[in-house]
Structure 1
Amino acid sequence: MIPPNQHRFGIDHPVVSVRNHPEAVEKYVRLGFSPSPISYHPWGSVLTVMMFENNFIELIGIDDPRKFGTGEVDGFCYGRTLGEFLARSEGLGLVSLHSKDIEADFAAVRAAGLPVQQRVDFRRKVTAPDGSPDEAVVSLGMVMDPELGDVSNFLCQQHRPEFIWRKDWQSHPNGATAVEEVVYVASDPTPLEARWSKLFGADNTNRVEGHIEANTGCGRLVALTPEQAEAHFGSVGLPVSYTSKPHGIALQVRVRDLKVVKQLLSENGVVHAETARGIAVTPAAAGNTVIEFAE
């Protein structure tokens, strides 16, 4: 199944990186998600996804660091990069942008004047919908900005999307249907505004009520000042931060009914609080990431 309302550079999947993957999966179950079966990357990482119709959350950790270097391209290995991130922090890191033509889209990013690095192609073992073993075939294009650090992206094309965009993975007890926003905090959001204008176009990147917002066509990227972040998420607290650079702090997830979410979180003993737009859980409940549920 190809996501019906996805297109070039839409939010494909934010990556939440955790040190204890089994524990984090259990936490996401308590939040009301139905994680996909556990899977593994060839470079030593372990993952599961919270799949929606057009995008998803990837929850990733380290399975076997001895595999770092597998599939290395020009010195880059995603597993090693993940290990370096987890050595200093947990939480929201890179955000993947959707591609249906990795070569053309990577060239377009380069032509827009953004720094680009390696192209990575890999396969990972999956179980097909009929229960037979098979392989997902994936192409990545790294679009990393050294000055922005973890507020970077990579393009992702699924060559066999039927193994990823599975309808049977899209039903969640909390009624979640989409990643609506990825939220960053930045003392100076101007570099993010410049980057997003090149990626998504100046018409889709705007200052809204004092913050920067980029419409990707499949969800929004939002940059808040520290004061704005505290004002909005102060009721649950902000993630532990190990950098003064811009970094991700929250995901807004669209749900069908906030009353269902509130009851589920209460029954599961998950600390939560109301925000101006919905209900948020503490960073400790979701891998050092605030998750805000909104209708």
Structure 2
Amino acid sequence: MKGIDHLVLAGRDLEALRSACQAFGFAMMPRGGLPFGISNSVVPLQGSYLEILSITGDVPEHSPGHFSFGAFNRDYLARHEGFSMLAFDTTDARADIASWREAGLQVYEPFDFSKTSTTPDGENVTLGFSLAFVSHPVAPWLGLLACQYKRRQFYAQPQYQNHSNAASTVQDVWVAGEAAPDLADFMNKVTGANSVRKSADLTVLQTRMGAIVLARPNAFEAAFGVPVPHPEDGPHLAGLTIGCGSLAHLAALDLPKVGGRYVVSPSRGFGTAIGFAELMRSS
């Protein structure tokens, strides 16, 4: 079974995104970039992270059998800002592609790249990535991939995991749209996760790390107190919940509280509903 590895939040102004994240109490790694026209910054959490990105150069185009991470995010941002992609963990991107293909899913050739980054003590290190992409025709703006690393620990540096808002983990991600619950079988094939809760308007799959909630618009609005941000996209990544060790910092930010969540609305969250909830602890 896979777990949630990281979330991609795309915006047009990276510095504005960074400032907003810091205002909500997140610590952030220094600004960086990918070698195909993308600038980014990372919010490290326990076992996962948020990748904040903007398009700042030319990106490779999609081609037959090849999915372009850069082109997808560029085209997504031409529509709106928001939660563009969800990445799962993997130790073998190529094996995932083979498994998904055997299950009848739409897959693409693996995408390998590397980049050089600098650690806090000044060491230059090479980070390597192999990405496996998968898609569903009903959800063209639902970006899904599995990410294999060389030096995954670079994104788990303790000095950047101490957040003022006590953020710890990605508790859940929400795919919203009228047809979202119909993607349960597809998401099971992608992740290996089974449904642990199901109703007419909502299906929850529990991955190895974090839950995926497939929700119709009314169920999403009941959870976050706001409408789905991009109904024109079909089933899309509409919101997320961060599990926090304490909600004291969030309580002081004058955010609305819906159920157990303090909620940053999509109008303030760059096209994404961001919830903060008390960390769910295993018994």
Q: Structure 1 length normalisation: TM-score?
A: 0.87
2:145 is equivalent to residue 154 of structure 1: yes
Partners of 1:177 and 1:253 within 8 A in 2: yes
1:64-143 maps to which residues of 2 (within 5 A)? 64-65=57-58, 68-69=59-60, 76-143=67-134
Where does residue 240 of structure 2 map in the other structure? 251
2:11 is equivalent to residue 18 of structure 1: yes
User: Which 5+ residue runs of structure 1 have no aligned equivalent?
Assistant: 1-7, 267-271
CA distance in 1, matches of 2:115, 2:243: 29
Q: Which amino acid aligns with 1:18?
A: G
Where does residue 194 of structure 1 map in the other structure? 185
CA distance in 2, matches of 1:156, 1:203: 21
Distance 1:209 1:217, change over 3 A: farther
Q: Structure 2 length normalisation: TM-score?
A: 0.90
Q: Note the C-alpha offset of 1:18.
A: 0.5
Give the root-mean-square deviation of aligned CA atoms: 2.2
SS at match of 2:232: coil
Where does residue 281 of structure 2 map in the other structure? none
Where does residue 182 of structure 1 map in the other structure? 173
In percent, how many aligned pairs have the same letter? Answer: 27
Q: Note the C-alpha offset of 1:146.
A: 2.9
1:280-291 maps to which residues of 2 (within 5 A)? 280-291=263-274
Where does residue 24 of structure 2 map in the other structure? 31
Q: Which amino acid aligns with 1:283?
A: P
Partners of 2:36 and 2:60 within 8 A in 1: yes
Q: Which amino acid aligns with 1:255?
A: C
When the two structures are aligned, how many residues end up with a matched partner?
278
CA distance in 2, matches of 1:180, 1:245: 23
Aligned structure 1 segments of 4 or more residues deviating by more than 3 angstroms: 70-76, 200-206
Q: Note the C-alpha offset of 1:292.
A: 0.5
SS at match of 1:284: coil
Distance 1:166 1:74, change over 3 A: same
Where does residue 4 of structure 1 map in the other structure? none
Q: Note the C-alpha offset of 1:29.
A: 0.4
CA distance in 2, matches of 1:246, 1:73: 24
Q: Note the C-alpha offset of 1:107.
A: 2.2
Partners of 1:43 and 1:78 within 8 A in 2: no
User: Which 5+ residue runs of structure 2 have no aligned equivalent?
Assistant: 279-283
Q: Note the C-alpha offset of 1:202.
A: 6.6
SS at match of 2:139: coil
